[in-house]
Amino acid sequence: MVAVVMLLGPSVAKAEWKPVGPFGGDARSLAADPSDPNRMFLGTATGQVYFTDDAGRQWTRLAGLEVPSNWIVDHLAIDAAQPQVVYAALWSLGSGGGGVFKTTDGGRTWRTLEGIQGQSVRALALAPSRSKILVAGTLEGVFRSEDAGEHWQRISPLGHAEIHSVESVAIDPRDPQIIYAGTWHLPWKTTDGGAHWTSIKKGMVDDSDVFSIAIHPTRPNRIYATACTGIYRSDNAGADWKKIQGIPNSSRRTHTLALDPRDPEILYAGTTEGLWRTSDGGVSWHRLTAHTWVINDIHLDPSQPAHFLIAMDRAGVMESWDGGNTFREANRGYAQRQISRIVSDPSDPERFYISLLHDKEFGGVFTTNTRGATWQQLSAGLEGQDVLSLLVVKEPEWRLLAGTTEGVFEYSPERPVWKNLSRWRASSTGGAGSLGPAVRDLFQRFPGDPIYAATSEGVFESNDGREWRKLPLSPSSNGLYAVASFGVQNQNLLVATSLGLILSHDHGRSWNEIWLDGDRSIRINEIAPNPVRPSEVFAATEAGLFRSVDGGLNWSRPGRGLPVSSLYDVQV
């Protein structure tokens, strides 16, 4: 999620904030209460856990986990004997942090479990026959607790050449001493709680990252393992494996496998190229979704044979009530999108437009005129590109401009498909070229004024958004992020670069370098001049909000109460 600041009035500080969408995001894990399938927990790629008591119709974010946003909730496990007890396994993207967290009150409060704190926990399992026994797979090996997580013991040999980088674990439903561990290089098994380990790789391709292990609940000698080389099945508790054919090579990165508890021949495979289903034990498969869907987890509803939910990248949670023939979103209340811009329509105060990053066909541009109660996606023609900036243009006719990773696109109600406008005319030669490719900011002070674009190739100016002229910049103008104009006839230009601000009082003929707080390393994400007081300018930065009252020459932090945290947008 991004931070958006709107400078409105003192009542904002007292308001209660709630998510209004667009809902969705990267969903990583699902867990349902065995005694009540309506109670479910959702783990995200941003260190959050959500809860629903109506099978996904409405989600509520649970506070108390309090971990950095680059921590991933990859596994959730509910104690069947005490459904208020839930465990969350986390690991950190880009660092070694992580651990197992526990709640005993259904998610209202959480605490980190000592003994495994700091471990990058990639897998977690509760023993079906004795729920106080937990097994966790980490980058350093396999850990086990026999007292509901209060104490942990490493049960894989310290420094073992193979049993590390453990991505999956499973416990035999009959005997908690029998444990399976899938590593980034083949699976292992112990039958005595970790005292001794045996390699169980016979029949597997040697280069196999084992993403998941699933034991059939009533036939525990039948085991399935998913790997980067495909899906494998063993009918003798891992003594040997046979590869299940039928899924194309490109879809073999199978993150998860779900077994239908009513029919052992029905399996669902969540892959990096969609959701697949077999009804004959894997002899034949067919894909239920688009190949662009990346599936991270699957939950089959034990009370409704045709109902299941999937957790996936970008779109969040999707559900099917007809066995996978059709899907619909089940995200209300779950909002983990990365929003790059929010703009309002001056001709319709209830109408807002937002742009999204990293969501491909599920992202682009959304609009609402119901204060977020409903959203409409306006992404036809954008081809899944990230939209970095938005601008509503009223004159000579109403249009919406989007700055993307591939230039400027135009949308109009008369032509509801985005059109690429990325052509410019060089100011010195008049030749044609390409605008962009990355258009990070679009700015127009008042209707009818020139439009400015901050791009990876420089700053451009246009009278209508269709024809562009490149403006001369100072040599220090690397990495442009934002642009704004102010003053008489827009002679003053302020540009945010990777090395601070540059300011021109003569429409780009000469430039001055300006640093915030004397620090040229502060990244500036957006600039917003005050339309009423032209000399007052605000800047949203990774170090908080800054304000200038002299046209950008000097800067300070405005007032009190706003945290010093990364801000992406500011509107005056």
Number of H helices, E strands in the chain: 1, 51
Percent of the chain past pLDDT 70, that is, above it, reads 92
Tally of domains in the chain: 1
Residue 529 lies in a domain: no
DSSP assignment of 25-55 = B-EEEEEEETTEEEEEEEEETTS-EEEESST
Whether 455 is covered by a domain: the verdict is yes
Q: Is 59 helix (H, G, I), strand (E, B) or coil?
A: coil
Give the range of the structural domain holding residue 495, as residue numbers without chain letter. 338-524
* pLDDT, tens only, 516-559: 877 777 888 888 888 888 789 988 888 888 899 988 888 888 86
Q: Which residue is it, tokens 């009370």? A: 303
Residue 406 resides in a domain: yes
Asked whether residue 402 is assigned to any structural domain, the reply reads: yes
Q: What pLDDT, in 10s, does the model give residues 227-249?
A: 988 899 999 999 999 998 878 77
CA 458 vs CA 64, 182, 358: distances in Å: 44, 49, 24
pLDDT at 10: 45
The structure's pTM equals: 0.85
Residue 86 confidence class, pLDDT cut points 50, 70, 90: very high
Pairing of strands 569-571, 4-6: parallel
Q: What integer pLDDT is reported at residue 17 of this predicted model?
A: 66
Q: Is residue 37 a contact partner of residue 55, using CB atoms and an 8 Å limit?
A: yes
Higher pLDDT, 569 or 445: 445
Question: Is the pLDDT reported for residue 449 higher than 70?
Answer: yes
Of the listed ranges 211-225, 358-372, 418-432, 443-457, the least confidently predicted one is 418-432
Question: What pLDDT score was predicted for residue 489?
Answer: 74
Any domain includes 479: yes
Of residues 435 and 330, more confidently modeled:
330
* pLDDT computed for residue 464 by the predictor: 85
Question: What's residue 2's pLDDT?
Answer: 40
What is the per-residue pLDDT for 1?
Answer: 41
* Domain annotation covers residue 297: no
Residue 29 lies in a domain: no
Answer yes or no: is 510 within a domain: yes
| pLDDT higher at 14 or 529 | 529
Q: Would you state the pLDDT for residue 459?
A: 87
- Conformational region of residue 407, where left means phi above 0, alpha means psi within -120 to 50, and beta covers everything else: left
Residue 429 maps to which CATH number?
2.130.10.10
b/e 148-161 (16+ beta carbons within 10 angstroms → b): bbeebebbbeeeee
